[in-house]
Structure 1
Amino acid sequence: MSTQQGGQGLATPAPQLALDLPRAWDFSRGAGQLVAVIDTGVSRHPRLPDLDAGGDYVAEGGDGTSDCDGHGTVVAGIIGAKPVADQGFSGVAPDARLLTIRQTSKVFQREGRSGEQRPEDQPDGYGDINALASAVRRAADWGATVINISLVLCTDGSYNPADGPLGAALRYATLERNAVIVVAAGNKEQNCNAGNPGINPLDPSGDLWKNLSTNVTPARYDDYVLTVGSIDRNGQPSAFSVPGPWVGVAAPGEDIVSLDARGTGTITGFVNQQGGVTPLKGTSFAAPYVAGVVALVRARFPELTPLEVIKRIQATAHAPAEGWNPYIGYGAVDPVAALTNEVPPTLPPKQPTSPRSIQLAVAAPAPPPDNRARNIALVGSATVAILLTLGMLASFPIRRRFGVTGDDM
């Protein structure tokens, strides 16, 4: 897969403008945090000097720094790319270290599969759910304080996927190894195409977990991960973002700029098999924005547990009117608020509540106006006018009796 160059110059990408990163950096830049990127690998790049090689579950002998797909390098750049002069693009947590673990790739497939295909067929891709569980444990044992997983497995909503080892690994990393795990909500494509229903207006308090069309792993392990949906530059849920009862917050997933896995610059899209350009977009790129914010929060509040960090980020997001919904969770992530605001003791439930009728207080009627002064003035004026009129009428006979006429001359 080739890359489409772009994003060069002083212009700040729209997602960064929405997050107000320069102000957030007044409080934290992620120093001291190790962010694991479990993805397609992360290529060495001059703007990722603090990159540790964590291993490779795709190619034997690899160390995780080969990225044939380009995806993992984009994710890593969003999290921690160093700022440079004359470039608007920067990672969210530029002082954090990164750990790359390659777990999947679209250009690999299981050994021996190529002999079963035609020469013109594309590779099936490779990624194993048990390998993902191993990668999570490796990242946790490596000391990662934040783990970003921009990979999803989507299955039918009525099917319970065999992902128990991954669930156990997520619990281990969160509760025993002190890592905050950030995952993507998934895109409406391929196995995720069915998406999930939103809130039923005829049954707004219905249990969303019982009406799933699509199971999304690892997002469905809601007790241990922070799931991120995508929003556009107007703050609206992206059309491709899969809703679900596990969505915690949302972040920009469109108009993405990040690092080029095959060069030293930045890109805005991938060149597809037809020679066209596919813009960088998806919940897989929304998740690293939140992972970067988690690194900022962990650097500023090192005493917080992973679940307390997740609560802080959810509590300080720009919430929808109903407090939570399955498209954007508790709302759009706000780095500055996450670093500075007081956090309430509880959050609204991740479940709509039944509508209630509440009698609003009725204001007491205003006292009638006091018109006494006006009335007295009007009566007095009317009395004077009447007296003057009577006086004028009374003078006419007198003038006729005593007046001088022409006959007297």
Structure 2
Amino acid sequence: MSTPPRPLGRPPLVLAATALCALGLPLASAPTAAAEDGGQCTYPSKKYEGRPWSLQRVQLDELWAQSTGKGVRVAVIDTGVDVRNPQLAKAVDARSGINLIPKEAKDANGYKLKRGKENGTTDTVGHGTKVAGIIAARPAKGTGFVGLAPDATIIPIQQNDADGNGTTTTLATAIRHAIAKKADVINISQDTANAVKPTPLLEQAVKAALDQDIVVVASAGNDGLGGNVKATYPASYEGVLAVAASDRNNERAQFSQSGDFVGIAAPGVDMVSTVPGGGHCADNGTSFSAPYVAGLAALIKAKHDTWTQEQIVAQIQQTAERSVAGHDRLVGWGVVDPVRALTEDDKPLEKPVASEGVTRAEAPTPAAVHLGETPEQRAARLATYVVVSGGVLVAAIAGTAIALRDHRRRRAALAGR
């Protein structure tokens, strides 16, 4: 039986849901996003008037002078994308979307589930709508929030819901659908329960996407509290860009999953984005770090449409802000720097290289300090003392003799008078 993937939202409730998954039970209801003022988010919600911190760290005018993501198609495999939010209405290609929730699906109470539209443009959870907004929300009056790639196109694929209706098999099907609909980038903000390695069908689908030069971005996971390190899927598959969450200090968010498979980090704390029906809410999780990177991948793809998916991933990693010279299991190759990724791009790279960051320098060699002297030095010193002393003694004797002679001569001269 396939292991159900889970959306990666706010860490505490995701952790609570993990135990249910381990028993093969449905996922707990997805959490409601916290509003920016600390209250509960409702759908629809109020607009966020300011510019979120995750966008303040980027010179957007400089970034968009290079690329806006126009012509790039990003598949969002999630809980659906609600096109009633005005910032997403023109960003979503509804004709390419699909709803993969089984028609016989039931909610946690056993009642038949209202699946929504067949094209994936219904989102009762809100998770997929937030993910899509971070990637490609259009500019709008009354808010400073906008997607990182505001001219990219979203392919909505509804593969999961609040009740865990979605398996690794349907996730594999979703990836195949994204390939068929000519996606350039695929965002997967979920992982398998309990970090169990899933059916080979999922890995085969991921490989098929990579073979088509599609950039596959996946969230690393939210079970990193206490230094927990484990592989998550599909993020751990070779070729997938696994994204950890960073905070306002460009450090790993406490909940963010660590491991050698982590390829990059991006903002994942207090992430403002679009919600169903309109407006915005804030949420935490690697779920919202992944689309930040997917948006950047869309920008690079639009500017360099001949680059391979490996070269796009290497460019993101090479230009990241690092605290060490190379790869780090906490934040991968560092925290993404969108402007640098779009401006330091003279030629494509196949792999990132360790070339900067804080490195551990060699300790200086201290000067030798002699607290004593060697036998040879002591012999030379004594010899010098002997020679000097001998010279002084000879001079003293000679001086005494001369003084005595002179004294006798003076006495003789006085006596002869």
Using the size of structure 1 for normalisation, the TM-score is 0.69
The count of corresponding residues between Structure 1 and Structure 2 is: 304
Relative to structure 1, the CA distance from residue 358 to residue 288 in structure 2 (aligned partners, 3 Å threshold; closer, same or farther) is same
Aligned to 1:144: 183
Q: Distance in 2 between matches of 1:140 and 1:320?
A: 36
Does the 8 Å CA contact 2:314/2:349 hold for their aligned counterparts? no
Q: Distance in 2 between matches of 1:356 and 1:252?
A: 27
Note if 1:88 corresponds to 2:144: yes
Q: 1:259 aligns with which of 270, 274, 283?
A: 274
Aligned to 2:172: 133
| Structure 1 vs Structure 2 CA RMSD | 2.4
Q: Distance in 1 between matches of 2:181 and 2:301?
A: 17
Q: Distance in 2 between matches of 1:144 and 1:345?
A: 21
Aligned to 1:173: 209
What residue ranges of structure 1 are gaps of 5+ in the alignment?
Answer: 109-124, 198-213, 269-279, 350-354, 364-409
User: How many angstroms does 1:6 deviate by?
Assistant: 4.7
Q: Distance in 2 between matches of 1:173 and 1:345?
A: 18
User: How many angstroms does 1:148 deviate by?
Assistant: 0.4
Aligned to 1:327: 330
Relative to structure 1, the CA distance from residue 314 to residue 47 in structure 2 (aligned partners, 3 Å threshold; closer, same or farther) is same
Note if 1:220 corresponds to 2:236: yes
Q: Distance in 2 between matches of 1:236 and 1:334?
A: 14
1:270-301 alpha-carbon deviations (Å, 9 max, x no partner):
xxxxxxxxxx0100001000000000000001
1:390-401 equivalences under 5 Å are none
Letter in 1 for 2:253: S
Q: 1:347 aligns with which of 352, 369, 373?
A: 352
Letter in 1 for 2:194: T
Using the size of structure 2 for normalisation, the TM-score is 0.68
1:145-176 alpha-carbon deviations (Å, 9 max, x no partner):
011000111435xx6x233111111111111x
Aligned to 2:101: 58
1:19-73 alpha-carbon deviations (Å, 9 max, x no partner):
3323211100000000100000001122111312321111437221111100000
Aligned to 1:316: 319
Structure 2 residue matching 1:249: 3-state secondary structure: strand
User: How many angstroms does 1:323 deviate by?
Assistant: 1.9
User: How many angstroms does 1:344 deviate by?
Assistant: 6.1
Tell me the percent identity: 39
Does the 8 Å CA contact 2:310/2:351 hold for their aligned counterparts? no
Q: Distance in 2 between matches of 1:130 and 1:193?
A: 29
Relative to structure 1, the CA distance from residue 266 to residue 359 in structure 2 (aligned partners, 3 Å threshold; closer, same or farther) is closer
Relative to structure 1, the CA distance from residue 194 to residue 233 in structure 2 (aligned partners, 3 Å threshold; closer, same or farther) is closer
Does the 8 Å CA contact 1:32/1:97 hold for their aligned counterparts? yes
1:336-365 alpha-carbon deviations (Å, 9 max, x no partner):
11111146675347xxxxx999576999xx
Q: Distance in 1 between matches of 2:306 and 2:325?
A: 31
Letter in 1 for 2:101: V
Note if 1:39 corresponds to 2:39: no
1:166-315 equivalences under 5 Å are 166-175=202-211, 177-188=212-223, 196-197=228-229, 214-221=230-237, 223-261=238-276, 263-268=277-282, 280-315=283-318
Does the 8 Å CA contact 2:311/2:350 hold for their aligned counterparts? no
Relative to structure 1, the CA distance from residue 32 to residue 362 in structure 2 (aligned partners, 3 Å threshold; closer, same or farther) is farther
Does the 8 Å CA contact 1:320/1:330 hold for their aligned counterparts? no
Relative to structure 1, the CA distance from residue 357 to residue 88 in structure 2 (aligned partners, 3 Å threshold; closer, same or farther) is closer
Letter in 2 for 1:257: V
Note if 1:103 corresponds to 2:159: yes
1:345-386 alpha-carbon deviations (Å, 9 max, x no partner):
75347xxxxx999576999xxxxxxxxxxxxxxxxxxxxxxx
Relative to structure 1, the CA distance from residue 356 to residue 67 in structure 2 (aligned partners, 3 Å threshold; closer, same or farther) is closer
Q: 2:58 aligns with which of 1, 14, 19?
A: 19
Letter in 2 for 1:166: L
User: How many angstroms does 1:266 deviate by?
Assistant: 1.7
Structure 2 residue matching 1:37: 3-state secondary structure: strand
Does the 8 Å CA contact 1:6/1:257 hold for their aligned counterparts? no
Structure 2 residue matching 1:69: 3-state secondary structure: coil
User: How many angstroms does 1:216 deviate by?
Assistant: 0.3
Q: Distance in 2 between matches of 1:138 and 1:218?
A: 16
Q: Distance in 2 between matches of 1:316 and 1:184?
A: 20
Relative to structure 1, the CA distance from residue 69 to residue 358 in structure 2 (aligned partners, 3 Å threshold; closer, same or farther) is same
Note if 1:3 corresponds to 2:45: no
Letter in 1 for 2:137: A
Q: Distance in 2 between matches of 1:173 and 1:329?
A: 22
Q: Distance in 2 between matches of 1:7 and 1:15?
A: 17
User: How many angstroms does 1:85 deviate by?
Assistant: 2.7
Relative to structure 1, the CA distance from residue 251 to residue 7 in structure 2 (aligned partners, 3 Å threshold; closer, same or farther) is farther
Q: Distance in 2 between matches of 1:136 and 1:356?
A: 42
Q: Distance in 1 between matches of 2:228 and 2:168?
A: 22
Q: Distance in 1 between matches of 2:181 and 2:119?
A: 14
Letter in 2 for 1:303: T
Aligned to 2:194: 155
User: How many angstroms does 1:239 deviate by?
Assistant: 0.6
